[in-house]
Structure 1
């Protein structure tokens, strides 16, 4: 089965910023990761003598003076069923030994999982059968990444913000989502739309509404064509939404001034309608009806 877009977007953050893996290894797992190394993408396939290719998600190599000193393999593992765990128990130890042999340096395998429970299962030691040679994967979820609420820090580490914010948006509130907006401002326009969708898809309805409001607000200053399009579309939507609310309010006022009983269900239907064409039809009919239900009869029911 080919990797999902969700899987690939997560990896894209690490491909675009190889230092992100070092930051995760150091801050989440407390590993000694020298900060003077130059990190670059390593091979994602390795050929064994068989010959047989093994394919990993990402290998990142930290070097100094063109000499590899540390290697990090980063996997994205979204499931932890019995078959999934058995499969990775055979492949992941091989990833580590292959990269370690090729670059002659200490090699660490970390894995991002969508939830803490999956991370716990993936982090269970993998038995290789050789005494003392078991692989314990350093598995984490977005909940293990500290939330970033400072906009300056968000613009320094936008990839961290995009990975961590969905896990903390409800608990930390608006500052986390303002950090998302700040992070998107410094992201290459090629990726902004995808990353915005990536975050939105992981937020609760309340947090999603808050982020959308921030992105459309006067305090957000779009700095790219994508941001300006998003802002202008949101502004137009906001104006239409405001007009719809005004027409619904006027419609209810006319009904009540004529002494027509408006049930709570009918009032909710009118106030929830965002279609200006439907509201215009109802306004044209409101002076002629004797019951509120007559508004909803006919081809334009709303």
Structure 2
């Protein structure tokens, strides 16, 4: 049951809405002079389910130091809303488990890493009631592992090195070291490393290099990625053959093939489209006419 002292200690601020501002001298803080104060609902219960998920949550147990929670977040870009989410994660986990919580943020570029490492506070700078300052892993502090022997010593660390240095000029040497190190490990060990690296390099030029290294250095593996690369190679070969056939028909019929037509044909990788163009190439009056129905 809430007792009278409890009620009085906070209700006085409802009674006099400007009391907090007048405490500046007592507290020794540069508080602003409140122009207007508004009483808001004090019920902080969620009225509807709100899904909040930390990327990965681990409990680390030590016989000497006890247990702690490690909340891991992958951050691809600056996001002004994230510090508030991180503060929620840490305070919620602290409340739920009663354990110290460490927040680790993993980044792929220096600018995002430097931003993520800055302390963020829920209050004004002179009253940082709740502050969050993550530990940050990124290209600024991860080792550049270009020695296959070093990569083999810790494949997971080498993978994290590759992922965090995805945009680094040395990424080619990093990936080559990793693919070389994977040659001598069992397939069930190599497979997840191959997949994690491919996922981490997604939508970056380095992913194409990694896929090539997997196809060449690790061609004996039957992983999902290796099979996908081989399937893509077969599809690309078929597309090239179809494009060559279209251009050959047009040229043999004496039609003028412009650079634009040649580029469009060779740049297409859709089998159905290429088959349609090849059929029209047999009767088209001009090379451009093979695209007429599109």
TM-score, shorter chain, exceeding 0.5: yes
User: Equivalent residue for 1:144?
Assistant: 141
Contact 1:255 1:286 in 2 (8 A): yes
Measured in 1, the distance between the counterparts of 2:226 and 2:262 equals 31
Distance 2:227 2:80 in 1: 48
Q: Is the 8 A contact 1:169 1:177 kept in 2?
A: no
1:210 aligns with 209
Larger-Rg structure: 2
Residue of structure 2 equivalent to 1:176: 174
SS in 1 for 2:65: strand
User: Does residue 262 of structure 2 align to residue 270 of structure 1?
Assistant: no
Whichever structure has more strand as a proportion of its residues is: 1
Say which structure, 1 or 2, has more relative contact order (CA 8 Å, 6+ apart). Answer: 1
Distance in 2, matches of 1:73 and 1:166, equals 20
Write the distance in 1 (CA, Å) between the matches of 2:101 and 2:211. 38
- Counting helix residues as a fraction of each chain, which structure ranks higher? 1
Deviations 1:105-124 (A, max 9, x none): xx894522424444434434
DSSP 3-state at the match of 2:60: strand
Question: Would you say 1:60 and 2:63 are equivalent positions?
Answer: no
Query: Any conservation in 1 of the 2:90–2:101 contact (CA below 8 Å)?
Result: no
Alignment partners' CA distance in 2, 1:166 and 1:236: 25
Q: Distance in 2 between matches of 1:297 and 1:80?
A: 46
Give the direction of change, closer, same or farther, for the CA distance of 1:83–1:277 in structure 2 (3 Å limit).
Answer: closer
**TM-score normalised over the length of structure 2:** 0.59
Note the C-alpha offset of 1:89: 5.6
Q: Does 1:123 find its partner at 2:122?
A: no
How far, CA to CA, are the matches of 1:97 and 1:277 in structure 2? 58
User: What are the ranges of 5 or more consecutive residues in structure 1 without an aligned counterpart?
Assistant: 12-56
**Aligned mates of 1:108, 1:162 — CA distance in 2:** 25
Name structure 2 gaps, 5 residues minimum. 1-49
Query: 1:57-136 counterparts in 2 under 5 A?
Result: 57-61=57-61, 63=62, 66-68=63-65, 73-76=70-73, 78=75, 84-85=82-83, 88=86, 92=90, 109=102, 111-114=104-107, 115-125=109-119
Structure-1-length-normalised TM-score: 0.58
For the Cα contact (< 8 Å) 2:247–2:262, is it kept in 1?
Answer: yes
Following superposition, the deviation at residue 251 of structure 1 comes to 2.3
What's the C-alpha RMSD, in Å, of the aligned pairs? 4.3
How many angstroms apart in 2 are the aligned matches of 1:142 and 1:222?
Answer: 32
Instruction: Write the distance in 2 (CA, Å) between the matches of 1:230 and 1:73.
Output: 30
Are 2:279 and 1:289 aligned? no
> Is the contact between residue 241 and residue 274 of structure 1 (CA under 8 Å) also seen in structure 2?
yes
Given the superposition, is the C-alpha separation of residues 159 and 189 from structure 1 closer, same or farther in structure 2, using an over 3 Å criterion?
Answer: closer
Q: 1:210: how far off?
A: 1.2
Q: Secondary structure at the match of 1:290?
A: coil
Distance, in Å, in 2 between the alignment partners of 1:141 and 1:194 is 20
Change in Cα spacing, 1:58 to 1:260, as seen in structure 2 (3 Å) is same
Partner of residue 24, structure 1 = none
- Which residue in the other structure is 1:42 paired with? none
Measured in 2, the distance between the counterparts of 1:267 and 1:96 equals 63
- Residue 164 (structure 1) aligns with: 161
> 2:218 maps to which residue?
220
CA contact (8 A) 2:198 2:210 kept: no
Shift of 1:270: 0.9
Greater mean deviation of Cα atoms: 107-116 or 246-255: 107-116
CA 1:165–1:88: 2 relative to 1, 3 Å: same
Cα distance in 2 for partners of 1:275, 1:85 equals 44
